[in-house]
Structure 1
Amino acid sequence: MAGVVLFAGPKAGADPNDAAQVARGKVVYAEQCASCHGVRLEGQPEWQSRKPDGRLPAPPHDASGHTWHHPDADLFKITKQGVVAFAPAGYESDMPAFGGVLSDAEIWAVLAFIKSSWPDETRRRHAAMSERTKK
C-alpha cells in the first residue's frame, strides 16, 4: 500500500466530542453495523466463543469489548479493508470490508460514535494509545 493516503479528506479522524460527526456516525452505524454489532453496541451473544462454522461472533463496540484496545488507525483500516486483510493466512471472518460501501468520512464518523459511548477513562486510554502508534 505504498503511496496510499488513508487519512485524506476534511474529517480524517474520529472525534467523540464532535457532535455532528457522532450524529452522522450514529446514523451510519444503525444502517451498516447494528445488525451484527448490536443496536446498543453490545455485540453478538458469546462473542468470544467460536460459532459452529469456526468464525467468531461480532464483538461489542461498547467498553465491554476489545475495540478500544486497538488504535484509531487500525480500527479505520479494519473497517475499510476488512478483518481478513490483517489476520493470519486462512483466517475467516464475517466482517466485510466497507471501503466500497462507506466513505472515509463515514467510517471515521462511525468510529466517533462508537468512541462517544465509552467512559472518559477508556477514551483517555484509547486516545493515548492511538497517539503512541502515530510516532
Structure 2
Amino acid sequence: MQASTKLKVGVGVAMAAAIAVAGVVMFAGPKAGADPTDAAQVARGRAVYAERCASCHGPRLEGQPNWQSRKPDGRLPAPPHDASGHTWHHPDEDLFKITKDGVAAFAPPGYVSDMPAFSGVLSDADIWAVLAFIKSSWPEETRRRHAAMSARAGK
C-alpha cells in the first residue's frame, strides 16, 4: 500500500473514531455527578441554589432553626446542608433522587415534607451542580468521607 493510501486510511479511521466519540457524548451527555472541585459546576450550583433552595435551606446552607424538631404541623424544618447537617451522610445518588423525586421515595408511608420534587423544574445537570456547590462548602475530611461512602453505595 502506498504511503498516501495509508495516510488516507489512517485519517479515515481517526475521523470515524472522533465521530463515534462525539455521538456518545451527544446522546449520553456528560457524566453525571457532583464535583466540588469543578469551579464552573460549583458556580452554576451556587446560582441555582440561591434561586431555588436558599429560601428554605438558608443562604449560607444553615437550614431552618430547630431543624431536628417537628413543627406544629408535624413536618420537620429544612435541614442545613453545611457540614453541621446530615446531608453528607447520604450518598450522591440518594441526594440526587431526593432532590429530583422528593423525599417520599425514601420516607416511610404517610411521611409528609415541605421539600418539593424538582423533576421538571431543574435539569439533572442543575441538580448535580447544586450538589457540587453544597459539597464545596464541606471541609476536606467530610468530602473525603462522603466520597468514600458514595463509592461504596454505588457498588
| Normalised-by-shorter TM-score class | over 0.9
SS in structure 2 at match of 1:76 = helix
> Quick check: 1:11–1:108 contact (8 Å CA) kept in 2?
no
- 1:111 aligned partner: 131
- How far 1:11 sits from its partner (Å)? 4.5
Q: 1: distance between equivalents of 2:107 and 2:88?
A: 18
Q: 1: distance between equivalents of 2:96 and 2:153?
A: 13
- 2:77 aligned partner: 57
SS in structure 1 at match of 2:151 = helix
1:99 equivalent to 2:130? Answer: no
TM-score normalised by L of structure 2: 0.81
- 2:143 aligned partner: 123
Q: Count residues with an aligned counterpart.
A: 128
Higher radius of gyration, 1 or 2 = 2
SS in structure 2 at match of 1:125 = helix
1:83 equivalent to 2:76? Answer: no
Q: 1: distance between equivalents of 2:70 and 2:60?
A: 22
TM-score normalised by L of structure 1: 0.93
Q: Percent identity?
A: 87
Which structure carries more relative contact order (alpha carbon 8 Å, separation 6+)?
1
- How far 1:66 sits from its partner (Å)? 0.1
More helix by share: 2
Q: Superposition RMSD on alpha carbons, in Å?
A: 0.8
- 2:60 aligned partner: 40
- How far 1:9 sits from its partner (Å)? 3.0
Q: 2: distance between equivalents of 1:111 and 1:129?
A: 15
Unaligned runs of 5+ in 2: 1-27
**Which letter maps to 2:80?**
P
- How far 1:56 sits from its partner (Å)? 0.2
Unaligned runs of 5+ in 1: 1-7
